Structure 1
Amino acid sequence: MSVEKDPETGQVSGFEPPWFYAAEENSLEEGKLLHVEPGGRNVLLLKAEGEIHAFINLCPHARCPMDRGTLKEFILTCICHGRKFDVRTGECLNDSLQLKRYDWKIEGGKVGIKIE
């Protein structure tokens, strides 16, 4: 059994694979894009309209980092080519592309991401 540690405190996170510690819940602010690496994966965490969302941090169009884009209400726009994604569904509003979504959960104020 592997043990996941909180990178900020070095404490054991309480998550066991396939769940990995990603961030403190209180570090997620409305409209803020947060790049994290739970389980060594490149993940984007965000809060839009009060809801948390987790996606791969790469645009499916040209693999640009999504955390460098912008979020307005529930529309995430890629900085590279302006692709717009609905964070409620992960669907692209410009074409048939889709952002890969990750399952997430909160335990004891910590956000965990399911990596399989």
Structure 2
Amino acid sequence: MANRIIVATLYQTPGSSPTYLLNISPNTLETFTSGDQIFLTVNVDSSAISPGVTAISSCKITWEQGSANPFVAGPNTPNVKAINTPTLLGTLNVAQGARVRYSLSIQYNNNTYTEDPEMEINS
């Protein structure tokens, strides 16, 4: 069993018409093991920080492609509010190895950002 951290970073592209993007790391082919505790940290890059907005409004995880929630206990809407602070999502519990695709939506400063990463889990 290990502690693993998923890092979601919200950043702004440079230029006269900036776009806000969400990047998840790791986002593909990262191998986890049943029993691992998974934490989520949401970082907001200095380019994307809105003055006075110091928290995430909401964070939602949706398990896709018929994947069940692989956590022993862990909400689909984790209580992630603080920026740059690891929040425990839950402990992985899978009977067989699986590749799990999920969607992570984060709301910050009245805007919602979504990324669709994938995790590989060994039983």
Q: TM-score, normalised by structure 2?
A: 0.26
Could you say which structure has the higher helix fraction? 1
Greater strand share, structure number = 2
Which entry has the higher C-alpha Rg, 1 or 2?
2
Kindly indicate whether structure 1 or structure 2 has the higher relative contact order, using CA contacts under 8 Å at least 6 residues apart. 2
